[in-house]
Amino acid sequence: MIALVDYGAGNLASVRKALRACGADVLEPAAPADLDRAAAIVLPGVGHFAATASLDESWRSAIRGCLEAGVPFLGICLGMQWLFEGSDEAPDVPGLGWLPGRITRLPDRTPEGDRLKVPHAGWNLAHATERSPVPGLQDGAYFYFTHAYAAPVTDATAATTMYGSPFASAVRRGLVCGVQFHPEKSGAAGLAVLGAFVGGVR
């Protein structure tokens, strides 16, 4: 059973639909204690980082406990950003701090001085890094993004995407994965990521 955590931040229905299309048995835990029975956790999300404040201390410690126990985890968009220490979008709201680094606003200029639209809304390429790729993430495939803030490129980066400058479009540390794009909205390339995650859960 894959636990899809609902904290009121958006794309739950789309993610549930896509996970089920990949053959997953999806349940939405009503309380942190329900995560005890989860074979894997998906943390979705879209919108403002402040929404992650709904993940209060009881959720944080339950999720942290699962990650320490080696339960596979996939964070999507805000759910990935939450793995980091925090975000400039909501400086008072701490992230989980599982990965080092802070989420910062995307630049509105390229290094050459050309204007960039923010949010980064649309399809862009993900370049998988060799170190620790996210299963199912095809190097050089297009994925759908919609975000104004992004994670820095660090040791945990599993894929980078270029929007003026490079940012981490996927992260991985062990069985903990995160994607900045929306695999539930990225056609076949996105379903391949979700399918590999579902397939790895037994």
Partner 1 sequence: MTRPAPDTFARRLIACLDVRAGRVVKGVHFEGLRDAGDPGALAARYDAEGIDELVVLDVTATAEDRLALARTVSAVAANVFIPLAVGGGIRSVDDAARVIDAGADKVGINTAALGDPSLISRIAGRFGSQAVVVAIDAKRDGDRFAVCSHAGRTPTSWDAVAWAREAQARGAGEILLTSIDADGTLRGFDCPLTAAVSGAVGIPVIASGGAGAPSHFVDVFSAGRADAALAASIFHDEKCSVRAIKAALQMHGLPVRL
- Residues labelled catalytic: 77, 182, 184
Is residue 147 a contact residue for partner 1 (CB under 8 A)? yes
Stretch that binds partner 1, among 9-17, 29-37, 94-102, 150-158 (CB under 8 A): 9-17
Question: E strands, 119-185, where?
Answer: 120-128, 141-147, 149-150, 157-163, 165-173, 176-179
Among 180, 202, 81, CA closest to 134: 180
- Does position 177 bind partner 1 by CB under 8 A? no
Nearest Cα residue to 28 out of 62, 38, 55 = 38
* Residue 72 in the binding site for partner 1 (CB under 8 A): no
Q: Any bridge partners for residue 155, and if so which? A: none
Residue owning tokens 């802070």: 102
Instruction: Please count the residues of this chain forming the interface with partner 1, following the rule CB under 8 A.
Output: 44
165 lies in the binding site for partner 1 (CB under 8 A): yes
Task: Find, among 102, 47, 38, 44, the residue nearest to 66 by Cα.
Answer: 38
Binding of residue 24 to partner 1 (CB under 8 A): no
Does residue 121 belong to the site contacting partner 1 (CB under 8 A)?
yes
- Contact positions vs partner 1 (CB under 8 A): 10-11, 13-14, 17-18, 21, 46-48, 51, 108, 110-112, 115, 117-125, 142, 144, 146-148, 161-166, 182, 184-188, 190-191
